[in-house]
Amino acid sequence: MRADDLPLGELSDLDQTALDALAKRQDAMLARTIGWSKINTGSWNAEGLNKFAPMLAEAFGETEATVELIKTKPIEKVDGKGVMQGFQSGPVLRATARPDAPNQIVMTGHYDTVFPDGTFMDVTDLGGGKFNGPGLCDMKGGICVMLEALKAVEAGPLKDQIGYRVILSPDEETGNHASNDVIMDAARKAHIGLTFEPCMEDGSFSGARKGSAVWDVIFQGRSAHAGREPEKGRSALMAASEFALKIEALTDVREGTTFNIGSIDGGDAVNVVPALCVVRLGARAPDAPSADWAQGEVDRILADVLKRDGITAHTHGGFYRPPKPRNAAQDKLFGDVAETAKALGIEINFKDTGGVCEGNNVFAAGTPNIDTLGVRGGRIHSAEEFMMADSLSERAGLATLILHRIADGRIDAKAIKALMP
């Protein structure tokens, strides 16, 4: 029986050869991931990002791809005084191989972490194959999984059936504002997207994802002596507080749509009426109509607050990641991946989540995708972040099997994309 006649959940000789080779790479994968984790690549650590990017380029030079480091435009960032600043992040890595192959894949991930330079830095062996360290799980382990899967496929006879563009961004944790255009361009050229964020702590994969918005709202009023002539002041802080309370009351007014006031920067001495205040606001929405509603409510409430005498405001931001709902294309891809995982004895559950990732961006470009193909672990975004070491070779094996099945047609990438609305 030919490999392309086998059910998705059965291994071919080619599959087994690749899995055996990946098992022998387990120790090297772990060593590489730990080494990468020890280099701080916090999203705002330009020095660390620029130090690490060439190391990634060298690593992906082990594939047959052409590797580029693309300088990004500065990221706009509103400071605590309401002034727009520009931050120059690290480069985007793009690795391109066989762009004329019949099956085109976009593979995405990020090399920034949430940990600022000088914070959580050590890697600790917790025993039982469990390692604690910054970015091990989210998502330097996932990048290693991606790399090893590509090398495994390119060592076999199916490689000419697969073309890919790898995009590794320096700014996923802050919204992909600098890297979005590169991601979208690559995604539009692909039939299927594979993103290597970690799976959920219980091993589940993400299903639908909500869309995400961030706004900075800068309120301006008029300062005055709070004791001698308070009537001449116009408190930006009071206006911001009214806005914040009304926004928080919106959560779940529309089912599944949530709001969060993340911070309020403003105020001065207690004897000064505050003339400036910056509110930082986030929202999550399950679908496009809900996102439109959320934007409309923010605009409506802001207009109502600005009826206060002497108060003005301007906003920066909005929905930077659209929702990624389930549809026929996503469900078909989920089913094919779940069947493929059975060949490794893995049962995959797909859970809808309010979290967002580059899978949202890929979906927005019209490309169905799986976005939690990375390592098993948990407690991400905390100093307790951990990775299960054996999941490196395990998940590299799963990604390799998925690529094999796309290459031999058992996962029909073109037909799945054709199901996209």
84, 27: one domain: yes
CA–CA gap between residue 312 and residue 220 (Å, rounded): 5
CA–CA gap between residue 226 and residue 229 (Å, rounded): 6
pLDDT in tens, 210-252: 999 999 999 999 999 999 999 999 999 999 999 999 999 999 8
Q: What CATH number is associated with residue 172?
A: 3.40.630.10
Categorize the per-residue pLDDT at 2 as very low, low, confident or very high, splitting at 50, 70 and 90: low
Across the strands, what pairs with 166? Answer: 95, 107
CA–CA gap between residue 275 and residue 223 (Å, rounded): 5
pLDDT in tens, 47-94: 999 999 999 999 999 999 999 999 999 999 888 888 889 999 999 999
Tell me which of 277, 300, 321 is where a domain ends: 321
77, 205: one domain: yes
Taking each helix axis as running N to C, give the angle between helix 141-154 and helix 46-60, from 0 to 180 degrees, rounded to the nearest 10.
20
Categorize the per-residue pLDDT at 403 as very low, low, confident or very high, splitting at 50, 70 and 90: very high
Q: Has this prediction a pTM greater than 0.85?
A: yes
Report pLDDT for 82. Answer: 86
pLDDT in tens, 267-326: 889 999 999 999 999 999 999 999 999 999 999 999 999 999 999 999 999 999 999 999
Q: How many domains does the chain have?
A: 2
- Residue 185: HSE in the Cβ half-sphere, 13 Å Cα cutoff: 9
Positions of E strands within 114-210: 124-127, 130-132, 162-169, 192-195, 205-209
Report pLDDT for 1. Answer: 53
How many percent of the chain have pLDDT more than 70?
99
pLDDT in tens, 358-380: 999 999 999 999 999 999 999 99
Question: What is residue 137's DSSP assignment?
Answer: I
Report pLDDT for 201. Answer: 86
Categorize the per-residue pLDDT at 394 as very low, low, confident or very high, splitting at 50, 70 and 90: very high
CA–CA gap between residue 165 and residue 352 (Å, rounded): 27
149, 217: one domain: no
225, 236: one domain: yes
| Domain membership of residue 47 as a residue range | 3-209+324-418
Report pLDDT for 67. Answer: 98
233, 293: one domain: yes
347, 367: one domain: yes
55, 181: one domain: yes
391, 260: one domain: no
pLDDT in tens, 242-258: 999 999 999 989 999 99
Q: Is the pLDDT of residue 130 over 60?
A: yes
Tell me which of 321, 338, 356 is where a domain ends: 321
Tell me which of 270, 305, 321 is where a domain ends: 321
> To the nearest whole number, what is the mean pLDDT of the chain?
96
Place of tokens 């802001």: 302
Q: Which residues contact 20 (CB under 8 A, 6 or more apart)?
A: none
Place of tokens 């080619």: 14
328, 283: one domain: no
Of 261, 241, 265, give the one whose Cα is nearest residue 251: 261
Report pLDDT for 81. Answer: 87
Question: What is residue 197's DSSP assignment?
Answer: P
227, 311: one domain: yes
349, 315: one domain: no
Burial of 148 (0-12, 13-18, 19+ CB in 10 A): buried
- Diameter over CA atoms, the chain: 91
Query: Do residues 88 and 74 make contact, with C-beta atoms less than 8 angstroms apart?
Result: yes
Report pLDDT for 316. Answer: 94
pLDDT in tens, 188-197: 999 999 999 9
293, 337: one domain: no
121: helix, strand or coil: coil
Query: Do residues 141 and 387 make contact, with C-beta atoms less than 8 angstroms apart?
Result: yes
DSSP 336-383: HHHHHHGGGT----EEEES---HHHHHHHTT--EE-B-S--EE-TTST
Q: What CATH number is associated with residue 287?
A: 3.30.70.360
What is the pLDDT averaged over residues 184-213? 96
Query: Do residues 3 and 408 make contact, with C-beta atoms less than 8 angstroms apart?
Result: yes
Report pLDDT for 179. Answer: 97
Measured in degrees and rounded to the nearest 5, phi and psi for residue 264 equal -130, 120
